[in-house]
Chain A
Amino acid sequence: MLAYAGMGFVLLALVFGVVGAIVGFSAGRRDNPDGVKMTRWLGLAFSASMMLATVTMEVALLEHDFSVRYVAQVGSLSTPTYITIVSLWSSLEGSILFWGFVLAVYISASIALTHDRASPALADAIATWLAVGAFFCFLMAGPANPFLPLSSPVPTDGPGPNPLLQNHILMVVHPPMLYLGYVGMTIPFGFAVAALLRGSLGAAQLKELRNALMVPWGFLSIGITLGAWWAYEVLGWGGYWAWDPVENASLLPWLTATAALHAAMLPARRGTMKGWTTTLVLVTFLLTLLGTFMTRSGVFNSVHSFSQSDIGPTFLGFIAIVLVFSVVLVGSRIDRLEGEGEGGALVSRESAFLLNNLLFVALTFTVFVGTTYPLLAEAIRGVKVSVGEPYYNQMAVPMGVAVLFLMGVGPALPWGQPTAERMRALIPPVIGGLVAGGAGVAMGVRTTWPLLALVAAGFASTVTLVELGTALRVGLARQSRRIGGYVVHAGIIVMLVSVAMSSAYRLDEEMHIAKGETVSFQGYTLTFTGKHTEAESNRTRQIASVDVRQGGALITTLLPALNIYPGMGAPIGTPAVYPTAKHDLYLSLMSIDEDTIGVHAFQTPLMIWLWLGGGVVAVGTLISLVPVRVTAGAPVVAAPVGAAKA
Chain B
Amino acid sequence: MRSFDVIVIGAGVIGSSVAYHLVKKGLEVALIESGGVASGTSSRCDAVALICDKKPGIDTEIGYASIQLFKQLAKEFSVDFEFSSRGSLYVCETDKELEIAQEYVTQQARDGYDMRMVDRHQLQAIEPYLADDLAGGIWTEVDSSMNPYKLCYAFVEEGKKFGLQVYDYHSVQDISLDEKGKVESVVTDRGTFKTKRVVNCAGVWSPKIAQMVGVHIPIKPRKGMVLISEKTPLKVAGQKVHEFGYMLSKFEDITFKRNVSELVEKHNVAFTIEPTDARNYLVGGHRAFNGYDIRSEMEVMRAIAERAIRFLPVLKDINCIRAYAGVRPWVEDHLPIVSEVEEVPGFYIASGHEGDGISMSPITGRMVAQLITGEPTDFNIDKLNFSRYKQKQQAVI
Determine if chain A interacts with chain B: no
